[in-house]
């Protein structure tokens, strides 16, 4: 198959949701349809259950699952689908943000009773920043939930995106009858008795077809009224608006009951984008270019502490990736080739000879890669779009065992390369500060330093409100600022200057007094 055909048939996406909305269940049902798994229950939730935050076995278990399910590839209807998994716990939100840089589209799962929840809002912000096309799946229609019109208003308002229902629920909860699929114009009947098969699909000519009355009584008239209202209220579905990230098609269903999932999947393979051009610092890269480019968006350490190797997850942006071929690691300026690149098909890993844009290749790494690193066929290129956000929590990290200083330094360094947290070094006193999104990461770091590197670390409190990357065209003012605030200036792992503001007030004062200094809350600006 030609490179062009291979690219056109790829759909790389992530499913995102607030915990418990049904992401794991939907993922599993998509894999069932794709024939990638054969029994329900094969995809384990990668949630860290409430109250288990200090249970380290739980953390290891979760890590094990997230290696196995990081990428789930399968074939469906001639299309190669790659689902990129995102962590369920909000303390790992930064991981999810990075994964979103490697997808071409997103499916958002919303619980029909709870509506739009906090984490969905944050994730949608990242999608909006990148104009990522999104499809919304409203889940759990087998339970009583919010009125669908109300829910659509809420989605539109809170996610700040226009919506267009492509299926419509006929009642809900105990009297849920099914959905009318407006994309394919058919009636999909719900039966809760058999969770593993698809309900009956009734072909109808239009919504006035008398056959409908028989199947969905006593809700036929209400359904017709509502559909009329939908068609009157919402614009026609324009695929370009979806591809531009301006309009989200909405589907209704029940992932647990396998209901509405196929409607979603069939429409998804039709409308979701194949790999699109990606912006590098130097230029825009088109997937159809013949030379290879791509970047590492995730690094996973080996679960076995005796083998300190890692898997780097490499997203191909253009050209064909081939085994045992020299590629340029652009940050190190050195050529590398890979003897055992792996592809991920459902839960299985296998060595591959070639892979195409949209695919994720697992590269066995002995310490060459950091998150964001670019590989190319020879061109000096660096992809943008893997920003670090200002952490929300900060702590000094200190060595707990003077005999293990080297182990600690190496461990901290490697965990930061993996993107577990961010490291800042205070320029004034040389002390190292770890910044995270949530408290759980501190426990993960401490646990992994001990088990994988034999190092003991202690944390000490530090009063920091926000980390801001500082730059200015006015060099004199920047130097003056750094001199005056010398106890609060640090550098990040790339050596960039960071101001560690201790309060909102001190940040505001700094912004007022030094108008030419720019304070950025993400590392990419």
When binding is defined by CB under 6 A, the residue of 254, 342, 422, 488 that contacts ligand G4P is 254
**Do 437 and 48 touch, CB atoms closer than 8 A?**
no
Sort 349 into a burial class: Cβ within 10 Å, 0-12 / 13-18 / 19+: middle
- Identify residues 111-140 at the interface with ligand G4P (CB under 6 A): 139-140
Q: Per rule CB under 6 A, is residue 256 in the interface with ligand G4P?
A: yes
Which letter, b or e, does each residue of 403-417 get, where b requires 16 or more Cβ atoms within 10 Å of its Cβ?
ebeebbebbbebbbb
Q: 3-class SS at 191? A: coil
From 12-20, 126-134, 229-237, 502-510, give the range in contact with ligand G4P by CB under 6 A.
12-20
Judged by CB under 6 A, how many residues of this single chain contact ligand G4P? Answer: 19
Residue 124 CB, shortest distance to ligand G4P, in Å, is: 15
Rounded Cα distance between 285 and 292, Å, is 10
From 254-262, 277-285, 458-466, 468-476, give the range in contact with ligand G4P by CB under 6 A.
254-262
Q: Per rule CB under 6 A, is residue 142 in the interface with ligand G4P?
A: yes
Q: Per rule CB under 6 A, is residue 155 in the interface with ligand G4P?
A: no
Give whichever of 24 and 436 is closer to ligand G4P, judged by the CB atom.
24
**Do 48 and 59 touch, CB atoms closer than 8 A?**
yes
Helices (H), 366-434: 405-417
Phi, psi of 353 (to 5 degrees): -95, -30
Q: Per rule CB under 6 A, is residue 480 in the interface with ligand G4P?
A: no
Provide CB contacts within 8 A for 286, sequence distance 6+.
277, 318
Residues 203-242: x where in contact with ligand G4P by CB under 6 A, - otherwise, as a string: ----------------------------------------
Residue 253 CB, shortest distance to ligand G4P, in Å, is: 7
Q: Per rule CB under 6 A, is residue 263 in the interface with ligand G4P?
A: no
DSSP code of 210? T
Q: Per rule CB under 6 A, is residue 143 in the interface with ligand G4P?
A: yes
CA distances from 277 to 5, 360, 431 (A): 16, 16, 42
Q: Per rule CB under 6 A, is residue 161 in the interface with ligand G4P?
A: no
CA 88 to chain centre: 10
Residue 435 CB, shortest distance to ligand G4P, in Å, is: 26
Rounded Cα distance between 375 and 380, Å, is 9
Assigned token pair, 160: 């700040």
From 14-22, 128-136, 291-299, 324-332, give the range in contact with ligand G4P by CB under 6 A.
14-22
Residue 50 CB, shortest distance to ligand G4P, in Å, is: 11
CA 164 to chain centre: 23
**Cα torsion through 226, 22, 132, 331, rounded to 10:** 180
Q: Per rule CB under 6 A, is residue 22 in the interface with ligand G4P?
A: yes
**Do 364 and 338 touch, CB atoms closer than 8 A?**
yes
Residue 347 CB, shortest distance to ligand G4P, in Å, is: 16
Residue 256 CB, shortest distance to ligand G4P, in Å, is: 3
Q: Per rule CB under 6 A, is residue 45 in the interface with ligand G4P?
A: yes
Q: Per rule CB under 6 A, is residue 69 in the interface with ligand G4P?
A: no
CA distances from 492 to 114, 149, 240, 467 (A): 39, 47, 40, 10
Q: Per rule CB under 6 A, is residue 44 in the interface with ligand G4P?
A: no
Assigned token pair, 135: 């499809």
Give whichever of 112 and 472 is closer to ligand G4P, judged by the CB atom.
112
From 3-11, 17-25, 225-233, 293-301, give the range in contact with ligand G4P by CB under 6 A.
17-25
Give whichever of 69 and 414 is closer to ligand G4P, judged by the CB atom.
69
Give whichever of 6 and 142 is closer to ligand G4P, judged by the CB atom.
142
When binding is defined by CB under 6 A, the residue of 34, 73, 87, 88 that contacts ligand G4P is 88
- Identify residues 282-311 at the interface with ligand G4P (CB under 6 A): none
**Do 524 and 126 touch, CB atoms closer than 8 A?**
no
Q: Per rule CB under 6 A, is residue 496 in the interface with ligand G4P?
A: no
**Do 323 and 338 touch, CB atoms closer than 8 A?**
yes
Give whichever of 29 and 466 is closer to ligand G4P, judged by the CB atom.
29
From 253-261, 293-301, 304-312, 465-473, give the range in contact with ligand G4P by CB under 6 A.
253-261
Q: Per rule CB under 6 A, is residue 24 in the interface with ligand G4P?
A: yes
**Do 366 and 270 touch, CB atoms closer than 8 A?**
no
DSSP string, 251-284: EE-BTTTTBSHHHHHHHHHHHSPPP--EEBSSSE
Residue 277 CB, shortest distance to ligand G4P, in Å, is: 31
Q: How many CB atoms lie within 10 A of CB 357?
A: 29
When binding is defined by CB under 6 A, the residue of 13, 16, 17, 292 that contacts ligand G4P is 17
Rounded Cα distance between 72 and 87, Å, is 14
Residues that bind ligand G4P (CB under 6 A): 17, 19-25, 45, 47, 88, 139-140, 142-143, 254-257
């Amino acid at each position: 198959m030609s490179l062009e055909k291979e690219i056109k048939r790829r759909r790389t996406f992530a499913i995102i949701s607030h915990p418990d909305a049904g992401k794991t269940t939907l993922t599993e049902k998509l894999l069932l349809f794709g024939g990638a798994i054969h029994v329900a229950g094969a995809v384990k939730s990668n949630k860290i259950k409430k109250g288990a935050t200090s249970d380290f076995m739980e953390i290891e278990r979760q890590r094990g699952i997230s290696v196995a399910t990081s990428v789930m590839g399968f074939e469906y209807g001639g299309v190669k689908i790659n689902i990129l998994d995102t962590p369920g716990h909000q303390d790992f939100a930064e991981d999810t943000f990075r994964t979103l840089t490697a997808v071409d589209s997103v499916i958002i799962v919303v619980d029909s009773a709870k509506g739009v929840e906090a984490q969905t809002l944050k994730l949608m912000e990242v999608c909006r920043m990148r104009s990522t096309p999104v499809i919304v799946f409203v889940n759990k229609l087998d339970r009583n939930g919010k009125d669908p019109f109300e829910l659509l208003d809420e989605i539109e308002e809170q996610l700040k995106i226009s919506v267009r229902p492509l299926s419509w629920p006929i009642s809900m909860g105990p009297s849920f009858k099914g959905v009318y699929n407006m994309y394919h114009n058919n009636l999909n009947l719900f039966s809760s008795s058999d969770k593993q098969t698809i309900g009956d699909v009734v072909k109808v000519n239009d919504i006035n077809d008398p056959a409908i009355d028989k199947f969905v009584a006593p809700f036929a008239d209400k359904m017709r009224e509502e559909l009329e209202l939908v068609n009157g209220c919402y614009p026609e579905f324009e695929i370009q608006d979806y591809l531009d990230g301006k309009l989200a098609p909405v589907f209704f269903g029940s992932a647990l009951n396998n209901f509405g999932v196929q409607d979603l999947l069939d429409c998804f393979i039709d409308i979701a984008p194949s790999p699109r051009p990606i912006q590098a610092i130097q230029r825009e890269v088109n997937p159809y270019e013949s030379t290879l480019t791509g970047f590492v968006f995730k690094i996973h350490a080996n679960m076995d502490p005796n083998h300190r190797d890692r898997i780097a997850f490499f997203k191909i942006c253009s050209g064909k990736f081939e085994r045992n071929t020299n590629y340029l690691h652009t940050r190190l300026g050195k050529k590398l080739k890979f003897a055992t690149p792996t592809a991920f098909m459902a839960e299985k890993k296998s060595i591959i000879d070639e892979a195409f844009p949209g695919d994720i290749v697992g590269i066995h790494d002995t310490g060459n890669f950091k998150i964001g690193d670019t590989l190319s066929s020879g061109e000096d290129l660096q992809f943008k779009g893997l920003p670090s956000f200002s952490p929300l929590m900060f702590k000094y990290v200190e060595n707990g065992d003077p005999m293990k200083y080297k182990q600690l330094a190496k461990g901290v360094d490697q965990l930061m390369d993996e993107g577990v947290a961010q490291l800042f070094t205070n320029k004034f006193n040389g002390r190292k500060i770890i910044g995270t999104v949530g408290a759980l990461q501190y426990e993960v770091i401490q646990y992994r330093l001990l088990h994988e590197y034999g190092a003991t670390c202690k944390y000490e409190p530090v009063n920091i409100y926000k980390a801001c990357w500082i730059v200015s065209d006015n060099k004199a003012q920047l130097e003056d600022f750094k001199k005056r605030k010398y106890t609060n200036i640090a550098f990040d792992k790339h050596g960039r200057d960071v101001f560690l503001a201790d309060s909102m007030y001190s940040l505001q004062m700094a912004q007022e007094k030094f108008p030419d200094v720019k304070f950025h809350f993400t590392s990419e600006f």
